[in-house]
Amino acid sequence: MTTKAQGIIELPDRRIECEADAPCLLTELVAEAGVILNVACGGAGTCGGCAVDILAGQFSDLAGNAIPADAGKAKRVLACQTRLLSGEFHIRIPHHSLVSAGEKVVMDFKHTPPRTLRPPVRKEYLRLPKPTLQDPRGCLERITGELRQRGYKGRILSSVRLVRAAEGVAQAEYERTVTITGEGGEWYLIRIEPGDTTSKLYAAAVDIGTTTVVVALVDLLAGEIIDAASSYNQQIIRCDDVASRISYANDPQKLEELRSLVVESTVNRLLGLLVGRHGIEQEDIAHMTVAGNTIMTHLFCGVSPAGMGGVPFAPVTNFPGPYRAESLGLAMNGDGLVDLFPSSSGYIGGDITSDMYVCGLTETDELTVMIDIGTNAEIVVGNRDRLITCAAPAGPAFEGSGLMSGIRASDGAIETFTLEGLDSKPEYTVIGGGKPEGVCGSGLIDFVAQAYRAGVISQTGRFTDETKANCRQIRKVLQDGAKVLAYEIASPKQTSDGVGPIFVTERDIATLLQAKGVIFAALQIAMKHFGAGFDEIKQFYLAGGFARHIDLNNCVTMGLLPDIDREKYEFIGNGSLAGAFVMTLDEEVRTKLPHIAAAPRVIELNLDEDFQNAYIMAMMLP
């Protein structure tokens, strides 16, 4: 039996008064109020992303056990595991539990290859001859004739959509601006406008990540990004990692849901934001380039990624597109072409092709390494003569997932950590400058490295006997139903209201060492297949948003990266977006990409006899 319950949902910046049919899950309750929580695990209760504070009301867990809520005293619960039963309620949602939270996303890049401004889409201002009885050609034929005189050879095609749009201008003024793009020796008319609009021509460069999406608005005439916007990939409200999305997409309806979440709820929303900011029309965006991993590219196109869910991990296509924007449901010129970066394999995607292009890996004689660190860490080793690549399934630990106080890199996250000695006071910085709510990946790396240097933890990641006897920060806490040792980074007085103390437990450290062990072992195996040692590396590129914010020395101390000359390391920022940007400017880029994607030899780590031993050794702190 359902009853009406009324209450308040308190957000960091506002309060919402609402009513709900009880009993109901708290995730459903807040969704009805237009608030989307970070249910990254799909509601399994394992990621901790949907933590909320209950302040008043009657609640229970999924087993029906009552959860008391004392008026004025916050009790933290997981919204996906908690039901509102009845009565008036008061729920408070911390900043990091919101999908719309401002994650610290790297939209910039420091490294782009030399390029020429020759975009694959262009505008031509035409003065068309008026029709006469002697020359009764249609509007489109007159446009085609004028373009022929300007050197456009081969077929010039147009869509039914464009023909219908041309009906309204056929008998009007005869000064026209046409937008035209070329592909495969053919030309496509994609827009007809009255008058001279050659001063406006835009494209969008898109980086589709498993966690975040960045859309950059590119002025094709100036050859520069004029604005960019980012958000979570809204697919995370259904499932977090690529493996769970592959499984979820096995149902055709759920596949369409994931497509809609990334295209309509994410990319189109960001396009709308950029268009609104600059007072242009969505039709002004005449071209789009998209870089993303192979699974994300498939989901973006509404293509099943099921083949990548098991051996031999084969995608439907490694070389998708180009496609018309209208067929993908994108909020831009419907006839505009959308170029997608090709992939090397199911787990070495278009984002890595973009990274390789940006770093010039197929054009250098020197031994070069590139790592894009994320939930899957992709590694490329080699030079113009030979490239080796592999994907290391590191898991989401460096994004804070599955750890006691781990959160994504959003406002309220501890991003740097310093510890001078065994019993010294820990120091940290917080994204956004307020009180901390948890620790993100860069802060966790700092903690492990600093704690190891200070003698707080041993080579195996355990708290030392001296630490347990003398360190004031050590506590015993409950984690997953068991009591474990933990280091208190921040006390309840130091944290945001309702958060409680911030801990790093021995279990958390073990999880982090497993993640870094997979990455370092994968790098060792890739180097083995190339036949070189770390001392022979001439250039080491670190790509991706996560790498942009890590402390290099702490990564080496932790054993995530090799101990080589620090001058050899270079942070390239968002290489995926950088490649997508350059591709909007230079039509020659698309001709290079198939060669780059096909160049590396992909190795499967689980088939290498040395990987397991390398992994076991790499889990130790060096």
Q: Are residues 253 and 278 in the same domain?
A: yes
Instruction: Flag whether pLDDT at 173 surpasses 80.
Output: no
Q: Looking at the domain assignment, is residue 9 inside a domain?
A: yes
Handedness of CA 117, 290, 230, 575 (dihedral sign): negative
Separation of alpha carbons 251 and 305, rounded Å: 11
Which residues span the domain enclosing 79? 3-97
pLDDT of residue 277: 87
Q: Looking at the domain assignment, is residue 261 inside a domain?
A: yes
Q: Looking at the domain assignment, is residue 434 inside a domain?
A: no
Instruction: Flag whether pLDDT at 452 surpasses 90.
Output: yes
Count how many domains the chain has.
3
Domain boundary among 194, 219, 247: 194
Helix (H) or strand (E) holding 245: helix 242-248
Q: Which of 494-508, 534-548, 601-615 has the highest mean pLDDT?
A: 601-615
Q: Looking at the domain assignment, is residue 322 inside a domain?
A: yes
pLDDT in tens, 321-349: 899 999 999 999 999 999 999 999 999 99
Q: Are residues 215 and 333 in the same domain?
A: yes
Domain boundary among 130, 159, 194: 194
428 contacts 416 by C-beta, under 8 angstroms: yes
Q: Are residues 190 and 128 in the same domain?
A: yes
- Strand locations in 34-120, DSSP E? 51-61, 66-67, 75-78, 82-92
Higher model confidence: residue 76 or residue 290?
A: 290
Instruction: Flag whether pLDDT at 435 surpasses 70.
Output: yes
Instruction: Flag whether pLDDT at 103 surpasses 50.
Output: no
Q: Looking at the domain assignment, is residue 36 inside a domain?
A: yes
Q: Are residues 230 and 336 in the same domain?
A: yes
pLDDT of residue 498: 65
Separation of alpha carbons 9 and 30, rounded Å: 7
Strands 438-439 and 413-418: parallel
Q: How far is CA 19 from CA 5, 25, 28, 36, 99, in A?
A: 5, 13, 12, 17, 22
Which tokens go with 290?
């998209």
399 contacts 105 by C-beta, under 8 angstroms: no
Q: Are residues 176 and 306 in the same domain?
A: no
Q: Are residues 161 and 209 in the same domain?
A: no
Phi, psi for 564 (deg, rounded to 5) = -120, 175
Confidence of residue 400 (pLDDT cuts 50, 70, 90): confident
Instruction: Flag whether pLDDT at 136 surpasses 60.
Output: yes
pLDDT in tens, 126-135: 888 777 788 8
pLDDT of residue 108: 64
pLDDT of residue 239: 81
Rg (CA), the chain: 27
pLDDT of residue 75: 84
pTM > 0.85: yes or no = no
Place of tokens 């831009």: 332
| Mean pLDDT score of the chain | 88
End-to-end Cα, the chain, rounded Å = 60
Confidence of residue 281 (pLDDT cuts 50, 70, 90): very high
Q: Looking at the domain assignment, is residue 129 inside a domain?
A: yes
**Which whole number is the average pLDDT over 157-171?**
73
Q: Looking at the domain assignment, is residue 296 inside a domain?
A: yes
The CATH number of whichever domain residue 135 belongs to comes to 3.10.20.880
The CATH number of whichever domain residue 297 belongs to comes to 3.30.420.480
- Strand locations in 209-249, DSSP E? 212-219, 224-232
Q: Are residues 232 and 183 in the same domain?
A: no
Q: Are residues 283 and 323 in the same domain?
A: yes
Q: Are residues 224 and 315 in the same domain?
A: yes
Q: Are residues 235 and 271 in the same domain?
A: yes
Strands 539-543 and 569-573: parallel
The CATH number of whichever domain residue 16 belongs to comes to 3.10.20.30
Q: Are residues 172 and 267 in the same domain?
A: no
Q: Are residues 334 and 206 in the same domain?
A: yes
Domain boundary among 165, 194, 223: 194
Higher model confidence: residue 72 or residue 82?
A: 82
Q: Looking at the domain assignment, is residue 225 inside a domain?
A: yes
